[in-house]
């Protein structure tokens, strides 16, 4: 675990901490946010509801892993009304998370990446016309799995601040060594 935490910090995450998949509690109330379609991925990706399966399916998927690491990016924006700054931080966080997951996937037999926002592995998702191009690497969001990001951070000992000029984004990689 130490080497993955060290690598995460070297790659630029603000914080990284061990995550116990058994403690993750998927909630219907969180999954319900997806249906509001605020992020634009609902019904448009294999990694998001409804294609990613029921809450029970997601719970079984995350609980099948013995270990995990939480990866957090915290940033401050100049203008607290600027959506562009959120997009820029989100792009950097996602790129870092995908690069981290790729390193884990190259070294370990089983890895499940859970992201911040919908899957961006491909420029355009094949959903619903063709199968997912990378079913072993696709990235569902923590929220799609019914996981409340602030609670996951707190349970991992990381303070979650997202207000005013502070942006906090969290992703995870669950794994088996
Ligand atoms: S890996 Fe590609 S095809 Fe699969 S869910 Fe992600 S974007 Fe869609």
3-state secondary structure the chain: CHHHHHHHHHCCCCEEEEECHHHCCCCHHHHHHHHCCCCCCCCCCCCCCCCCCCHHHHHHHHHCCCEEEEEEEEEECCCCCCHHHHHHHHHHHHHHHHHHHHHHHHHCCEEEEEECCCCCCCCCCCCCCCCCCCCCCCCEECCCCCCCHHHHHHHCCCCCCCECCEEEEEEEEEEEC
Q: Express each pLDDT in 53-88 by its tens digit.
A: 999 999 999 999 999 999 999 999 888 888 888 899
Supply the pLDDT for residue 41: 87
Q: Which residues contact 54 (CB under 8 A, 6 or more apart)?
A: none
Q: Is 113 in the pocket of ligand 1 (CB under 6 A)?
A: no
Supply the pLDDT for residue 105: 97
Q: Is 122 in the pocket of ligand 1 (CB under 6 A)?
A: yes
**The model's pTM:** 0.94
Q: Is 126 in the pocket of ligand 1 (CB under 6 A)?
A: yes
Pocket test for ligand 1, best of 41, 42, 47, 128 (most atoms within 8 A of CB): 47
- Are the C-beta atoms of 19 and 69 separated by less than 8 Å? yes
Pairing of strands 110-115, 67-76: unpaired
Q: Is 128 in the pocket of ligand 1 (CB under 6 A)?
A: no
- Are the C-beta atoms of 8 and 71 separated by less than 8 Å? yes
Residue nearest to atom 8 of ligand 1 (CA): 125
Supply the pLDDT for residue 98: 98
Supply the pLDDT for residue 62: 97
Supply the pLDDT for residue 39: 79
Considering its fold, how many domains does the chain have in total? 1
Supply the pLDDT for residue 144: 95
Supply the pLDDT for residue 79: 84
Distance (Å, whole) CA 10 – CA 13: 7
Position in ligand 1 atom list of the atom nearest CA 46: 5
Supply the pLDDT for residue 38: 74
Position in ligand 1 atom list of the atom nearest CA 120: 7
Tell me which residues of the chain have a pLDDT lower than 50.
none
Domain extent, residue 64, equals: 2-176
Phi, psi values for residue 50, rounded to 5°: -85, -10
């Amino acid at each position: 675990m130490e080497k993955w935490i060290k690598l995460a910090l070297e790659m630029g995450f603000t914080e990284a901490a061990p995550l116990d998949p058994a403690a993750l509690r998927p909630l219907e109330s969180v999954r319900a946010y997806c249906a509001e379609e605020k992020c634009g991925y609902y019904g448009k990706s294999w990694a998001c509801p409804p294609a990613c399966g029921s809450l029970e399916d997601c719970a079984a998927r995350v609980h099948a892993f013995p270990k995990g690491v939480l990866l957090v990016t915290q940033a401050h924006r100049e203008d607290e009304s600027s959506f562009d700054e959120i997009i820029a931080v989100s792009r950097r966080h996602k790129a870092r998370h995908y690069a981290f997951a790729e390193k884990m996937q190259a070294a370990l037999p089983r890895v499940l990446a859970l992201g911040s926002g919908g899957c961006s592995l491909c420029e355009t998702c094949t959903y619903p016309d063709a199968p997912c191009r990378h079913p072993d690497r696709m990235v569902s969001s923590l929220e799609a799995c019914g996981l409340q990001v602030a609670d996951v951070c707190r349970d991992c000992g990381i303070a979650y601040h997202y207000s005013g000029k502070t942006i906090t984004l969290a992703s995870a990689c669950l794994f088996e060594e």
